[in-house]
Amino acid sequence: MEPPITALSCHDLTHRYGARTVLHPLSLALEPGTVTALLGPNGAGKSTLVRLLAGVTRPTGGDVRFGERALSALAPAERARTVALSGGEPELPFAWSALEVVLMARAPHLGRGRFEGAAELTLARDALRRAGAESLAERAITELSSGERQRVLVARALCQDTPCLLLDEPTSHQDPAHALRLGGELRALARAGRTVVCVLHDLTFAARIADRALLLASGRLLADGPPAEVLRAPTLEAAFGAPATVLAGPPLVVVFEPPAP
């Protein structure tokens, strides 16, 4: 018998910082076996949404569910075995090696009194390889460039081995080759039945790797659907406030023009 398909979903999810609403009521289901791109201008609510979906930030209203269970009802270790988040982490203050940082992701799977062994080391090294960071394994995290550090933190999320993987701007510091490599890895995870959600600013890259695009603006969902349907010039101009040209491709390419003075 095949395991049941379980979606990550939210229902009437809202969030405020003081009197300012940064995410208006939102309900959606994120299906296994898909890559979903969260798109929109700065301040649209993308990072807030991904942190709410990961259970890192508590919503002002509504809830997040994994299957029929509220994410907030899960014990921390169980939640960490369900959803992994990469992006927005604070600076790591100690000179741990990249391999040690990635190994930290195995803690929720080990339980009390258990320590990483050969199996965990193999998983961590494989995660570094998949993130394009295998050559960084023995280097101190404090000595890495922003792009190298970003790949190590993505590797840590991969090593967490969860059904749901949430990434906040995972390609923001990456060169084209590493970004494309990561895109291939995310597609492979989707083929394996994982739920993958990425905050992205590169709309052309999003169109290449995503099955679904959610376009946010001012904390509201402006468009939801396949990238080719969401990434249309009038919709993009409404979201970003700049004229856009969309070349249908393939690959689909989005070009923005400077807004009129």
Burial of 261 (C-beta count, 10 Å sphere; 0-12/13-18/19+):
exposed
Among 195, 204, 155, residue whose Cα is nearest residue 10: 195
Residues 43 and 97 in one domain: no
- Order of strands, edge to edge, in the sheet holding 20-30? 20-30, 8-17, 61-66, 69-70
- What pTM was computed for the model? 0.94
Peptide bond into 250 cis (omega under 30): yes
Has residue 182 been placed in a domain?
Answer: no
In a domain, 185, yes or no: no
Same domain membership, residue 247 and residue 169: yes
pLDDT in tens, 124-177: 999 999 999 999 999 999 999 999 999 999 999 999 999 999 999 999 999 999
How many independent structural domains does the chain possess? 2
Residues 194 and 70 in one domain: yes
Question: Domain check: are 70 and 102 in the same one?
Answer: no
Specify if 38 maps to a domain: yes
CA distance 12 to 154: 29
| Residue 20: domain span | 1-82+162-177+190-261
Express each pLDDT in 167-226 by its tens digit: 999 999 999 999 999 999 999 999 999 999 999 999 999 999 999 999 999 999 999 999
38: domain CATH number is 3.40.50.300
Q: What Rg, from alpha-carbon coordinates, does the chain have?
A: 19
pLDDT tops 50 at residue 255: yes
**Residue 155 falls inside a structural domain:** yes
